[in-house]
Amino acid sequence: MLTQKPKRYRYPAEIISYAIWMYHRFNTSYRDIEEMLRYRGILVSYETVRTWSNKFGKSFADVIKKKEPKPTDKWHLDEMIIKMNGVKFILWRAVDSNGHELDVFLQKRKNKKAAIRFLTRLLGSYPSPRVIVTDRLQSYTRPIKHMTKADHRRHKGLNNRVENAHQPTRRKEKSLIKFKSPGGLQRTLTLMGRARNIFAVPIGRYLNSRETQKQKFNEAMNIWQEAAKEVYCF
C-alpha cells in the first residue's frame, strides 16, 4: 500500500514515511537523512526532507496519538530551558508513570499563567489523573489544586521519570547544533514524543528479551505504517 505516491509527490509514501521516521526517531539532521537516502540510491535534498517533515509531521503525531494506550493515572510534570537565537524559552513536558509522553508545550514564561495553559492542554486531551508529581516550582500549586482533584506531590527526587524524558530533546538539540524556530521545535518534539511512545517505551531496550523487543518493534512499525496510510489518505 505504501508503494503508492501521495498526490503531487515524486516519491512513494514508503520513502517519505521512512525519512520522517528517521528524523524524529533518532538524533539526525535533515542533511544526515539526505546522506542516508543517497546511500540507498534515493536522491533527495535535505530541503525536501524538511518539506516532508513540515507537511506531514503534525498529521503523523495526531494519528499516532489516537492509537496510543490510555495513560496511567499518575503524571509527572517538569520544564526545561531551551535557547533559540539568544532567547530563552521554557519547554513544559508531561509523562505518565510508564514514561509515555503526554504532551510538550513551548512557552516564554515559567509562571502561573503558563502552568494554567499547559494544564488546560493536558486536561483537554486526557481525564484528570489521580496523582500529579512536580518539582518545587510554586507555579504549579494553585492551578493543580483548582483545575484537578489530583494528589499533588512536590518533590524533585520523585520526578526522575520526566527528567529522563528531557534527554532525547537535549541529544536532538546537540545533533542539530541548535533549534531554529519555536514553531519548528514544537512540531519536531511533538512527533518525537509520539514516536518514542510507540517504539522506545514498549520495546524496553534494557528490560526485555531479544524476542520481545523484536515483537514490540514489529507492532510499533505496524502502527507507524497504519498512521502513514491515514496521513496520505490511502
pLDDT in tens, 215-226: 999 999 999 999
Residue 188 burial by Cβ neighbours in a 10 Å radius (0-12, 13-18, 19+): buried
Confidence of residue 1 (pLDDT cuts 50, 70, 90): low
Confidence of residue 3 (pLDDT cuts 50, 70, 90): confident
Give the Cα separation of 187 and 53 in Å (integer): 9
- The structural domains of the chain, ordered by start, are 13-67+194-231 (no CATH), 74-165 (3.30.420.10)
What pLDDT digit, counting tens, does each position of 64-86 carry?
999 998 999 999 999 999 999 88
**Overall pTM surpassing 0.75 (yes/no):** yes
Give the Cα separation of 233 and 231 in Å (integer): 5
149-157, long-range: CB < 8 A, 24+ apart: 150/75
Read off φ and ψ for residue 133, nearest 5 degrees: -105, 130
Mean pLDDT of the 58-69 span: 94
**Tell me, what amino acid is at 196?**
R
Higher pLDDT, 5 or 48: 48
